[in-house]
Amino acid sequence: MLSKRGHYGMHSGYTARMPAPRNAPGALRGALLCALAALACASAPGRPAPSADLVLRGGPVFVAAGKRSTAVAIRGDRIAALGEEAERMVGASTRVVDLRGRLVTPGINDAHCHLGAGGLSMLEVDLRGASSLREIESRVRAAADKAAPGEWITGRGWDQTRLRSSELGPGGWPTSETLDRASPRHPVYLRRVDGHTGWASSRALQLAGINVRTPDPPGGEIVRDARGAPTGILKENAQDLVAGALPPPGADKLRRGILAALDLAARTGVTSVQSEVTPAELDIYRGLRAEGRLTVRIYGWLPLTMEVVRALEQRGERAASGDAWVRTGLVKGYADGTLGSRTALMLEPYSDNPSTRGIQRMAGPEMDALVLAADRAGLQVAVHAIGDAANREVLDAIERAAAATGRRGARHRIEHAQVLDAADIPRFARLGAIASMQPTHATSDMRWAEDRIGHARAEEGAYAWRKLLDAGARVAFGTDFAVEPLDPVEGLYSAVTRQSREKPGTPPGGWLPSQRLSMEEALSLYTASSAYAEFQEQVKGTLEPGKLADLVVWERDLLALPPEQILQAKPALTVVGGAVVYQQP
């Protein structure tokens, strides 16, 4: 019920009375002025403390690891006070939310995702969970029936490990024949769930100019049949051959995809992302901010190329350049592929295919040169590395760059760090390298991971976030959306249980259970550690007074839930910059 002090319970109808979004131009200056005015009032003799815009009370508040409170007050776009002090800030115009025992945490900061691409995938054919070629064919045909003549059919999410081996062609992969049947009049291109392997129809191969005479590009492979003809499967850099023929999404479609992703983020409690961006996407994010419609803070990475490094350097952009809403200065490269595609670069051959150790996407000298150039330019480097050989290559490049420049505190990152040699685990802490990891990868990949690398290598360093933490490394959690769901609850469950999300409770005790975390640890890696990974630990990641008012009210207390109930937890309220961006219906 609404009191004359603006008191609200957790029911529908209160959102309209919450503070309006504060991400319009000039809002940061206004917030700072409000803060200065508040300090002046507070310091004046006999003056009462200024009232808050919003107070949440009546439930546990996870301020930071090891620190709890009972209430939180928001003034402007900042946390103003906690506990009893927050209660004293309730004034005549304060909006008060009765938590009724619900948990408040800092907003989730996804340290690794592809927000724009993930939004576009929400507009394409969704192949996640498909367990037969017939099911994939049906979904593609349904899209083709609605498409304009000649329009490309694109999609994502197929996974050959879910298909029967009897359905698969050379190398254990599907072939273009399935897509030709589903869409004979449209070119079709479908990305594997990990985004590192593509599946093309015959028409798509023809338009891309890929035939029996096309050589494998550096860092890529065209899968072929016994006659040498392409089967439709393109690994790693070979996907670029189709990218040149695939029409880029128009600005309207890209904006629709981004808005869909922003809506999903708000509904799942995500308030910040560290994401791949394109110049076109950056323009859209900045435009949405100007419109007051940007509801997620963006730290965008651009490609790790010499051209990009030089351009950023000339513009004076360094790591974490920008404002509280949109920032750049992070550059990302690729050392290898993925474990599921057997393209992750391993020190030893694959257990289930001894003929390969994976694909090296960037030669060592090139990696060294790029990391050194970015380091000298004051940029932050992130490199995708999944296999133990790839991780070692990136650590070596970071170490050599630091020796050459003497720069400290660069916070260079390895994205995924999925399989590590035991000797390299301590190097993360020693070099100050951040392990940017995605806990759902462990519970998605555990179905076949030991087939790829065997139990001994898995036990030594697969998805080993506990070993990294124990060695003093910084670990930041994300999702890799749209490779995995954006919903952080799935990652929290994976980190705490190491068990299947499809069949909760299995395997009993979890896969490689020594790597499990507590819920408090997992929440910290999704909030405070992710803020550290983007140089923002002084302004967000915890709910300490003075920091940005980005928070989530969970309908259940994640810190007290039994593991089997974690997946059912949902946000009841998501707040970004003091403004409510999502309210549970």
State the residue for tokens 């806990």: 439
* pLDDT given at position 475: 98
Domain ranges in the chain are 1-107+541-585, 117-243
pLDDT above 60 for 39: no
- Is 117-243 a CATH 3.40.1190.10 domain? no
Short-list 457, 303, 474, 304, CA closest to 387: 457
d(CA 27, CA 280) in angstroms, rounded, equals 24
Identify whether the C-beta of residue 232 lies closer than 8 Å to the C-beta of residue 200: yes
Question: Pseudo-torsion of CA 238, 240, 244, 246, nearest 10°?
Answer: 90
What is the DSSP secondary structure assignment for residue 160, as one 8-state letter? G
Task: Tell me the fold of 1-107+541-585.
Answer: Urease, subunit C; domain 1 (2.30.40)
Q: Above 50 in pLDDT, residue 344?
A: yes
Return the pLDDT at 42.
Answer: 43
The pTM score is 0.86
CA 125 to each of CA 41, 143, 175: distance values in angstroms, whole numbers, following the listed order: 57, 7, 18
Is residue 531 reached through a cis peptide bond, with omega within 30 degrees of 0 on the bond before it?
A: no
Could you report the per-residue pLDDT of 175-231, keeping only the tens digit for each? 999 999 999 999 999 999 988 999 999 999 999 999 999 999 999 999 999 999 999
pLDDT score recorded for residue 243:
85
Q: What would the pLDDT profile of 98-108 be if each residue is shown by its tens digit?
A: 999 999 999 99
Share of the chain above pLDDT 90, in %: 89
What does the mean pLDDT of the chain come to? 92
Phi and psi for 8 in degrees, rounded to 5?
-125, 140
Q: Which of 264, 332, 341 is nearest to 302 (CA)?
A: 332
* DSSP strands (E only) in 482-578: 551-554, 571-576
Burial 465-486 (b: 16+ CB within 10 A, else e): bbbbbeeebbbbbbbbbbbbbb
Q: What is the DSSP letter of 350?
A: B
Q: Is 250 exposed, middle or buried (0-12, 13-18, 19+ CB in 10 A)?
A: exposed
Average pLDDT over residues 299-322: 98
Amino acid type, 2: L
Q: What confidence tens digit (pLDDT) does each residue in 102-157 have?
A: 999 999 999 999 999 999 999 999 998 899 999 999 999 999 999 999 899 999 99
Tokens read off for 380: 């932050």
Instruction: Give the residue-averaged pLDDT of 53-70.
Output: 98
Residue 553 has pLDDT above 50, yes or no: yes
Q: How much of the chain exceeds pLDDT 70, in percent?
A: 92
Give the integer Cα–Cα distance in Å for 280 and 549: 28
Calpha distance 136→294 (Å, rounded): 35
